[in-house]
Structure 1
Amino acid sequence: MRAFIKRSIKGKTVLSLFILCNVVYAIMLIVTIPEVMHYSGGMKILDMMPTGYDTQYVNTLFNSLGTAGRDSYLYHQLPSDLIYPFLFGVSSCLVLAYFLNKLGKLDGKLFYLCLLPLFSGLFDYAENFGIITMLKNYPNISVIQVQITSFFTVLKSVLTSLYFSILIITLLAVAKNKYFSKKD
């Protein structure tokens, strides 16, 4: 895995994947999520609830969405969100690896931090499959389905937040090194 990542952290590759990932994310933020939320009466969709949700919330949301909103969620939003976790995981892994390499820290234990977005992407997939299952089973949603899917939502959110915190610290370290190397 380390060898593959080291081979893949060329600037153009990293930048291209980063841009592609953010184009897909922008489409979700500008098109598919607002489309679903149009039907929700202002309720947040499950993907956008980093602290999770309970069965009552899911039932209220799915009821508010109605058939058209649930179809929009299932057939418009979630297909986009089946592309995004892969792009996020890979591009974010490579972005962090690129900057850790600039610091000369990619060969050490800090390399494992690059795996955080990959796990975040896996949890995003688990969340998405849980949401798909609940949408298909509605109104017969079990408490355990909601709890498991919510757990994956929280794990995805925690790892994503941790990743961005680490990325910011890494970028600050790169900037500090660049600043002090110019002073010498």
Structure 2
Amino acid sequence: MQRLIKYIASNVQGKKVLMLFVITNMVYGFMLVVTIPKTIAYANGMKLLDMMPTGYDYNYVVDLFNTLSVEGRHIYLTNQIPVDMVYPFLFGLTYCLVIGYFLKKLNILKEPFVFLCVLPIIVGVSDYLENFGIITLLNTYPDLSRLEVNLTMIASMLKSVSTSVYFVALIVLLLVLGVKTLKLKIYS
């Protein structure tokens, strides 16, 4: 844990964190504006698997892949997934340092608070597991296994839950920092 604290402390300079934040969100924006709409165009209103935070089941995956058709499944595999293989790494690194930056500002970049920095890494790992699951499903379709669908769905839900917990923790930290800053201004 001391190595993690040391790594984070040495990399939470404002400009570095801001640069990573901008790059990460440019990649995310590209997915939202280009690759996801391009794939969804074949889905006839259905949501893509990685856009379903509450999960899905075997029948939904079959229906989605049927609706996407050969071309839509190909675009999912060759357009959306490759960009989404870059994003989890950027998310994990960037948001680990973002929360580390605010922990350092609050002088609490130490245990147990540093464990909050692990949350975006869990998000990134679960996003990779989800992506590998989706790749497997796309490549084995129409011979989908219920086990593969369920494992992919578990990864999707883990990504969703850990993302939500991370952002709640970040909001709480920002509120604490805001209150601390206001108190300093009022009493100085």
**Is the pair's TM-score, using the shorter chain for normalization, greater than 0.5?**
yes
Residue correspondence of structure 1 range 45-64 to structure 2 within 5 A? 45-64=48-67
Gaps (5+ residues) in structure 2? none
- Kindly report which structure 2 residues correspond to 1:56-135, keeping only aligned pairs within 5 A, or say none: 56-135=59-138
Q: Report the alpha carbon displacement of residue 108 of structure 1 after superposing the two structures with TM.
A: 2.8
RMSD in angstroms over aligned alpha carbons?
0.6
- For residues 130 and 37 of structure 1, the distance between their equivalents in structure 2, rounded to whole angstroms, comes to 19
**Structural mapping, 1:29-48, within 5 Å:** 29-48=32-51
Q: Secondary structure at the match of 1:43?
A: coil
* From 1, 4, 9, the counterpart of 2:7: 4
Inter-partner Cα distance in structure 1 for 2:128 and 2:105: 31
Which blocks of at least 5 consecutive residues in structure 1 are unaligned?
none
1:162 aligns with one of 165, 168, 171: 165
Name the amino acid aligned to 2:34.
V
Q: Read off the aligned partner of 2:126 and give its amino acid letter.
A: F
Hey, what does 1:146 align to over in structure 2?
149
User: What TM-score do you get using the length of structure 2 for normalisation?
Assistant: 0.97
Secondary structure of 2:110's partner? Answer: coil
Asked whether 1:137 is paired with 2:136, we answer: no
CA drift of 1:5 comes to: 1.0
Which 4+ stretches in 1 moved above 2 angstroms?
Answer: none
| Structure 1 Cα separation of the partners of residues 60 and 14 of structure 2 | 43
Secondary structure of the structure 2 residue equivalent to 1:12: helix
Residue aligned with 2:22, SS:
helix
TM-score, structure 1 length as denominator?
Answer: 0.99
Matched position secondary structure for 1:9: coil
